[in-house]
Amino acid sequence: MSTALHTSDQDGLAQPDRAGQPAAALGDRLFRLLTGGAAWLVLILLLGAAGSMAWGGREAFQTFGWSFITSKDWDAVGHQFGALVPIYGTIVSSLIAMIVAVPISFGIATFLAEVAPRWMRGPIGMAIELLAAVPSIIYGMWGLFVFAPFMSEHVEPWLTEHWATLPLVGVLFDGPPIGIGMLTAGIILGIMTIPFISSVMRDVFQAIPPALRESAFALGATPWEVVCKVTLPHTRSAVMGAIFLGLGRALGETMAVTFVLGNAHDFSLSLLMPGNSIAAAIANEFTEADSPIYHSALIALGFLLFVVTFIVLAIAKFMLLRIERKGR
Q: Map the footprint of another protein across residues 98-137, applying CB under 8 A.
A: 103-108, 110-112, 114-116, 122, 124-131, 133-137
User: DSSP string covering 162-213, please?
Assistant: HTTTSTTGGGGG-S---S-SHHHHHHHHHHHHHHHHHHHHHHHHHHS-HHHH
Of 242 and 273, the one with the shorter C-beta distance to another protein is 242
Binding-site member from 24, 99, 169, 269 for another protein (CB under 8 A): 24
Q: How many CB atoms lie within 10 A of CB 143?
A: 29
Q: Which stretch binds another protein (CB under 8 A): 37-45, 64-72, 233-241, 267-275?
A: 37-45
Instruction: Look up residue 177 and give its amino acid.
Output: P
H or E element in which residue 278 lies: helix 278-285
Residue from 159, 182, 245, 319 touching another protein (CB under 8 A): that is 245
- Contact assessment for residue 116 and residue 212, using Cβ atoms and an 8 Å cutoff: no
Please report whether residue 292 would count as binding another protein according to CB under 8 A: no
CB of 269 to another protein, least distance (A): 26
Q: How far is the CB of 222 from another protein (least distance, A)?
A: 4
Out of 83, 96, 204, 251, the residue judged to bind another protein by CB under 8 A = 251
Stretch near another protein under the rule CB under 8 A, chosen from 81-89, 165-173, 206-214, 244-252: 244-252
Vertex 190: Cα angle to 179 and 120 (nearest 5): 125
Q: How far is CA 234 from the centre of its chain?
A: 24
Question: Is residue 97 part of the contact set for another protein (CB under 8 A)?
Answer: no
80 sits in which H/E element: strand 80-81
Q: For residue 172, give Cα distances in angstroms to 96, 194, 225, 283.
A: 12, 24, 36, 26
Measured CA distances, 259 to 81, 82, 105, 188, 262 (Å): 23, 22, 25, 11, 7
Of residues 145-164, those binding another protein (CB under 8 A): 145-146
Question: How many amino acids of this chain bind another protein (CB under 8 A)?
Answer: 111
**Contacts (CB under 8 A) with another protein, residues 191-230:** 191, 194-196, 198-200, 203, 222-225, 227-228
Q: Which stretch binds another protein (CB under 8 A): 69-77, 152-160, 172-180, 309-317?
A: 309-317
Asked if 74 touches another protein (CB under 8 A), the answer is: no
Stretch touching another protein by CB under 8 A, among 13-21, 72-80, 153-161, 168-176: 13-21
Residue from the set 19, 42, 77, 168 that interacts with another protein by CB under 8 A: 42
The region of 49-57, 65-73, 75-83, 267-275 touching another protein under the rule CB under 8 A is: 49-57
Among 34, 99, 212, 269, binds another protein (CB under 8 A): 34
CB of 160 vs another protein, minimal distance in Å: 24
The answer to whether 160 and 175 are in contact (CB under 8 A) is: yes
Which of 185, 238, 313, 323 forms a contact with another protein (CB under 8 A)?
Answer: 313
Shortest spacing between CB 109 and another protein, in angstroms: 8
- Structure-derived torsion over alpha carbons of residues 309, 311, 317, 322, reported in degrees to the nearest 10: -150
Q: How far apart are CA 197 and CA 240, in angstroms?
A: 10
The C-alpha atoms of residue 190 and residue 251 are separated, in whole angstroms, by 11
Residue 81 beta carbon to another protein: minimum distance, rounded to whole angstroms: 16
Nearer to another protein, 17 or 290 (CB): 17
CA 134 – CA 192 distance, rounded (Å): 9
Q: Which residues pair with 233 in a beta bridge?
A: none
